[in-house]
A and B are shown apart, each in its own frame.
Chain A
Amino acid sequence: MIHLAPGDPTELIGSEDPTTIQSLEQVRKLYGLDQPLPVQYWNWLKRVMLLDFGRSFQPDGRPVIDKIAERLPVTLLLNLIEMVIILLIAIPIGVRSATHQYSTFDKVTTLFVFIGFATPDFWLAVLLQILFGSQFGWPISGLRHPMWEYLPFWRQQWDFISHLILPVTVATFGGLAGFSRYMRQSMLEVIRQDYIQSARAKGLDERTVIGKHALRNALLPIVTILGLSLPGLIGGSVIVETIFAIPGMGQLMVQSVFARDYPVIMGNLVIVAALTLGANLVADLTYSAIDPRIRVSRRGRR
């Protein structure tokens, strides 16, 4: 697919420098780009089977796996923190606006949600940078203070965390809106079910009805969405990563596409695909944790 995009890595070496173009043909041969596409693909497949993703076409020539390995942790860390915060905030909001439908709280959160949906990431990011960075002296971008090497251990950790606050806030803001909506919707459906009625009829107090019977059932669709949104989160972090100068997977992917760095693009796709499968597996396991019936029915069929 990538090869459908015109241009190849060597095209970019010369660009506007008159001295360089004459050497392009040699470089192309060196990278094996003169081979037919099926041959290039077969060579790549053979190597991936052995978990060898090859080396980047960039002049650093580093193994793709290294390039991804040094960038994956920060992206995963950001996304995990983001997810946890989203869930911690979105679930209570969703539950409450469902149980108190059309209350003032529901209306305020609905308004908030639409603002969250409508706010572009990059705009919010710059606003926060100006407000907290320029006015209050918070770190604006990057992950570490320029003199980080000279800080004592605990200051280093705090410095790192303080650099993450703004990007996490921005990344959370948009996601929060969506998840609290899903939660509200799913909860609304559940509390109209008969078994909630019967739970109430049994004389259970409201907290147990909502917190135990309703919430567990309402969480199922959320888990599905969560599992599906992981690859999107990794891809979608490009904007946040670029504005906050965080060297993560999103940046790597975009740069590789612009540079037509095929091995890195392919490696990235494989990793994201693996992560998606992994996330779906985790989602499936979570189903059974939340809803014992899923486990039971499977055993029953055996």
Chain B
Amino acid sequence: MSPRLSLGRLAVLAVLVALGAGCTVDPESAAEPAPLVAAAKPAYGDTYIDALLGDISSLIPTITSDGASHTVGGLIYSGLVRFDKNLVPEGDLAESWTFSPDCRRLTFRLRPNLTWHDGQPFTADDVVFTWRTIIDPKTPSPYKADYASVDSVEAEGPGVVHVNYREPYAKALTSWSTYMLPRHLLEPYVQEGRIREAPQNWNAPVGTGPYRFVSRRAGERIVLTANPDYWEGRPHLSRVVYRVIPSQATTFLELKAKGVDSAALTALQYQRQTDYPAFKRAYTKFRYPSNAYTYFGFNLKDPRFADRRVRQAFAHAINKRELIDGVILGLGREATGPYKPGTWAYTDKVKTYPYDMDRARRLLAEAGWERNAEGRLVKDGKPFTFEILTNQGNDERKKIAEIIQSQLHELGVGVEIRIIEWAALLKEYIRKRRFEAIVLGWGTGIDPDQFVIWHSSQQAPEQMNHIGYANPEADAALERGRAACVREERVKHYHRLQEILAEDQPIVFLYFRDALPVVSSRIHGIDPGPNGITFNFTKWFVPRPLHRYTAG
């Protein structure tokens, strides 16, 4: 599992890595290590071995959206703010922060006496440098958009930073959880546009986080060691080894043989293959909704799908519960909109679409689709047939498409399924809008701002509203939610947005899949919450008698 992920940025891989935040924890795990926890005393030492599905692509994660890089980088670097157990922002390198009354000036006060891993002091200049680096056109960072409305960043002495915004920006605070970069090492590389070539990006990263980099072997492993000068005190686990294991099946075998201390399970492994006493003794299983949902989407420029009744009919025709049971063995939660149940922006007071074939048929009839003699739906002499696209390598989505195919078949709608490699799907079909329907997923960041997904202005080829959704009311809610910086006010707008989306069903929201991590039971101090398990990684420890790797 990845310690203290910056969830906002990790949305991409949430689906793959199956990590994330949530509210409920599997009762099994909550009850399990109770007797030991009470007795165990925090101790320093031991090595924690984690598995990565792919090698990291960068040790300056600011320039990549690759999940593994953020997992490792999250231990080496730290930001001004971070998110606690309940996803509430708290000071990391910053001691405190204040917004000006008009929300356009954000002031951070940094903790005193912070140092980089090489002993140099961390100051406000580094914050300004980090911002300059990200917005520099020569830096290939995928996070530039987060700072688009920043007018300037000023350092006032070594310990105070002011950020001035051109307009109020709701994600302002979240965006400053970005990893701080060392000016004294990176400045020349950034100026020449060669940040990727800096040694800090390959084998000498210097951060302010709880772990220091020790060594790496490409494609094989990364070794970190506890930072004794970390501002919160030295982390308990003294060494962290990330092993790169590209096959999930191998990772699972390694887990059983105790070659790794943690792994994300598949639904099948969680339900059927880990339910024996030896495994339960060796590992603690966790379960909470991940930060990503799967959806069945339509090209709304297609006249058939532009009719809301058709989309609502499809929503009624899909039995979400059965889908979750069939595809991920029940380890997921039905989605009613784009927000995860349990987060502050979420509301369940929206229109829902219970499984009801009769209503689906009626809605389609209202929309002018009639059943012909063969039982197929026709309108103006044309039968209702379309193609669902989804990406290769994701068995879950393939199964979903097949279930939808059979359920819509009952309505008399013909569905074909086509599975296309990811890069090709994006470039040739999604970007060019050459699709009728899709089964894909969206990551949900920490902040509820989803302007780029739903706003009608975001329909250019490179932009994310590829379904072509346009609703002035939704636009208004998105704009207002983005411009307000007080949470109480934003909630109203996002609740309204969810009502509109539930009514419109621009896509059929299917489910939030559960993240299913397991961690070796010798590790104590895990405190699962809406932010997952890894946010307090520095507090994890192994009681002295249970230490497994003593040489470190």
Contact = CB atoms under 8 A, between A and B. Distances in A.
Contacts of A21: 452, 462-464
Given A71-B219, A255-B54, A19 B257 contact: no
B121 to A, nearest CB: 28
Interface string A1-16: 0000111100111111
Given A18-B453, A146-B549, A67 B11 contact: no
Contact of B9 (A17, A129, A137): A17
B415 interface: no
Contacts of B8: 19
A189 interface: no
Given A7-B428, A130-B253, 16 more contacts: A16-B292, A16-B442, A17-B9, A19-B8, A21-B462, A21-B464, A58-B58, A59-B58, A59-B201, A67-B218, A134-B253, A144-B220, A147-B549, A247-B218, A255-B54, A260-B423
A142 interface: yes
Contacts of A16: 11-12, 15, 292, 440-443
A70 interface: yes
A21 B141 CA distance: 11
Interface in A28-72: 30, 55, 58-62, 67, 70-71
Contacts of B140: 23, 26-27, 30, 59
B481 interface: no
A24 B243 CA distance: 31
Interface stretch (B59-67, B100-108, B340-348, B371-379): B59-67
Contacts of A251: 219, 246
A13 B65 contact: yes
A6 B218 contact: no
A1 B500 CA distance: 47
Contact of B424 (A7, A149, A243): A7
B113 interface: no
A297 interface: no
23 contacts: A7-B422, A8-B427, A11-B423, A15-B12, A16-B15, A16-B440, A19-B8, A21-B452, A22-B148, A22-B463, A26-B137, A26-B144, A59-B58, A60-B58, A71-B219, A126-B249, A140-B259, A141-B253, A142-B221, A142-B259, A245-B243, A247-B218, A247-B219
B120 interface: no
Given A23-B142, A243-B250, A247-B55, A252 B219 contact: yes
Contacts of A146: 47, 49, 221, 241, 243, 259, 549
A110 interface: no
Contacts of B445: 18-19
B11 to A, nearest CB: 5
B365 interface: no
A264 B285 CA distance: 39
Interface residues of B, number: 77
Contacts of A11: 423, 426-427, 431
A18 B443 contact: yes
Contact of B145 (A22, A62, A137, A147): A22
Nearest to A9: B423
Interface in B84-130: none
A133 interface: yes
Contact of B142 (A17, A67, A137, A242): A17
B484 to A, nearest CB: 19
Given A8-B427, A18-B443, A251-B219, A242 B246 contact: yes
Nearest to B214: A149
Interface residues of A, number: 58
Given A14-B65, A16-B442, A60-B58, A6 B257 contact: no
A30 B138 contact: yes
Given A7-B423, A247-B220, A20 B143 contact: yes
B202 interface: yes
A18 B250 contact: no
A70 B218 contact: yes
A244 interface: yes
Interface in A226-271: 242-245, 247-248, 251-252, 255, 258, 260
B433 to A, nearest CB: 15
A150 B245 CA distance: 22
A291 interface: no
B65 to A, nearest CB: 5
Given A16-B292, A21-B462, A142-B245, A60 B196 contact: yes
A143 B440 contact: no
Contacts of B421: 7
Given A18-B442, A59-B64, A260-B423, A6 B250 contact: no
A141 B259 contact: yes
Interface in B254-288: 254, 256-257, 259
A245 B247 contact: yes
Contacts of A15: 12, 65, 422, 426
A255 B47 CA distance: 29
Given A59-B196, A142-B243, A23 B138 contact: no
B423 A12 contact: yes
Contacts of A6: 423-424, 427-428
Contacts of B11: 16-19
A5 B452 CA distance: 28
B405 interface: no
B65 A61 contact: no
Interface in B430-487: 431, 440-443, 445, 450, 452-453, 462-464
Most B Cβ at <10 Å: residue of A6, A55, A71, A258: A6
Interface in B124-158: 137-138, 140-146, 148
A133 B245 CA distance: 15
A242 B257 contact: no
B208 interface: no
Interface string A66-84: 0100110000000000000
Contacts of A26: 137, 140, 144
Contacts of A18: 11, 442-443, 445, 450, 452-453, 464
B456 to A, nearest CB: 15
A123 to B, nearest CB: 11
A14 B11 CA distance: 10
B551 interface: yes
A12 B54 CA distance: 15
Nearest to A239: B247
A140 B194 CA distance: 39
Nearest to A151: B551
A14 B424 CA distance: 14
Interface in B216-263: 217-221, 223, 241, 243-247, 249-250, 253-254, 256-257, 259
Interface string A138-181: 01111110110110000000000000000000000000000000
B380 interface: no
B177 interface: no
B426 A7 contact: yes
Contacts of A23: 140-145
A126 B66 CA distance: 28
A20 B145 contact: yes
A55 B197 contact: yes
A16 B143 CA distance: 14
Nearest to B260: A146
B520 interface: no
Given A12-B422, A59-B66, A129 B452 contact: no
